[in-house]
Each structure stands twice: as C-alpha cells, then as structure tokens.
Amino acid sequence: DRFRHDYLEVRGLHVEFDGFVAVDSVDLTVVQGDLRFLIGPNGAGKTTIVDAITGLAKASGSVRFGGTELLGRTVHKVARAGVGRTFQTASVFEELTVLQNLDIAAGSGRSPWELLRRRSGVPENVEAAMETIGLTHLRDVQAGILAHGQKQWLEIGMLLVQDARLLLLDEPVAGMSHAEREQTGLLLQRIGEQRTVVVVEHDMEFLRAFASSVTVLHMGSVLSEGTYAEVQADPRVQEVYLGT
C-alpha cells in the first residue's frame, strides 16, 4: 500500500503577521490512521497552521509530509506533494454534475490528450471516490442542487481523486444536520484508514464521537494533546474553555 508510510511532521512552526506571533513553535505529528482534530478558541492559530502547511502563509520551522519538506513551496507544489485542503464553504462547480466535478478534479495536472483519451469511460478512481463519498446514485445530478452536506462530501471526493494523501479539512460539519454529521464522521474514519487526516473543528459532540486524537491550541501554541477524554480532563483546557 503506497500510503502506508505517510505521516505529517510539523516542527517549530512559526508564523508572524507584522510582528504579531500567530503560531509559536508548534510541533505536531500525525500518522496515517490517526484522525486528528485541531481545536482551540477563536484566534488560537488553527487556520494559520493549515495555511502554513499548504503554502498560503509564510512560515518558518519545518513541515514534512512523507519525508518531503513542504515549507517554502508554492501552494501548487504543496498540492502536487499530495496535500489537499477544504475550506468552510465548499467550492464545487455548481453547474456541473457530481461525476463531472470528480472527473475534472481527477484530470487536474494531466495533459489534454490524456483527458480526451479518457472520455470513453469513467476512471476507476473516480468510481471508487463516488462510492466512498456515497454519491454514486447522484452522479448525474448538478452539484448546485445538492444538499449542503453532499456538497462537502463532493469536495472531499475531489481531494480523493486528486490523490491527496494528507487531507486538511476546515470545519467539515459546520451547518450540517445530525444525520449528515454522523455520515461525515464515518466517511472521515474510512478515509483516515488509508490517508492522513487533520480536521479543524469546533463541534464537541462530533469530536467526542469521531476524534482518535485531539490537539488543543491556545494563543498560537499547543496547550494539550491526547484522546478526547484526556484533553477534556486537562485543567489547562478547562481553564481556556470555561475560564475557571
């Protein structure tokens, strides 16, 4: 299995905005099969860490994935190294069908000749991704009329067909119904068996049900790390969240 030895290794990550330290010496190790959640109050630095890993924010320190140093690479080159990201608002092509969205994502980076040659059939990885995200029965439906949750799943599917081996997901269950949250949790667990998954999330119920490990950030630093039960029992975490 080509994904087996992947892991994310962040060391001494540091991000400043005009002298303001948003991320301060953060260490983070996430292995494949570990569904890691990043939590912390607003402004803790969660999004900035994801921005730094994906090449959107200028950072110092080290971010290695599967042995490759990512810091200093362009957004495009980080993506080519197998790193995929979603934002809070799903960005799918609303006028195109589910299948067309996945097909286009699968074709990114390939030559027009390869795309033309593939016109005849649906590639295996596209079929597989459609199955994984549970949208096979909606393959010919326009993405624009999908339910909110289904759009999020489609966006995750687009990362799968792009061969992202590290998925960074920003609040994937925001605005979802209870049933959609359950399905998303199961989906992330399935994906996490084969790929490395990091989720920025506020929803504590979701965390409790699905996180295999949690990193708590506060004012740009790691405050606590462990299982949900461990970080919940940590007095430092309680102080930050409850002000006690």
Whichever of 32 and 48 has its CB closer to ligand ADP, that residue is: 48
CA–CA distances in Å: residue 177 to residues 90, 206, 208: 16, 12, 17
Whichever of 71 and 129 has its CB closer to ligand ADP, that residue is: 71
Residue 17 binds ligand ADP (CB under 6 A):
yes
Whichever of 40 and 66 has its CB closer to ligand ADP, that residue is: 40
How many other CB atoms sit within 10 Å of the CB of residue 130?
23
Quick note: the x/- pattern for ligand ADP over 33-52, rule CB under 6 A, is: -------x-xxxxxxx----
Beta carbon of residue 86, minimum distance to ligand ADP (angstroms, whole number): 14
Residue 22 binds ligand ADP (CB under 6 A):
yes
Beta carbon of residue 66, minimum distance to ligand ADP (angstroms, whole number): 25
Among 70, 16, 67, which Cα is nearest to 45's? 16
Place of tokens 């934002």: 87
Whether 167 and 79 have beta carbons less than 8 Å apart is answered as no
Beta carbon of residue 202, minimum distance to ligand ADP (angstroms, whole number): 9
DSSP, res 34: -
- Any residues with CB less than 8 A from the CB of 87 and at least 6 apart, and which? 170
Q: How many residues bind ligand ADP (CB under 6 A)?
A: 11
The residues binding ligand ADP (CB under 6 A) are 17, 20, 22, 40, 42-48
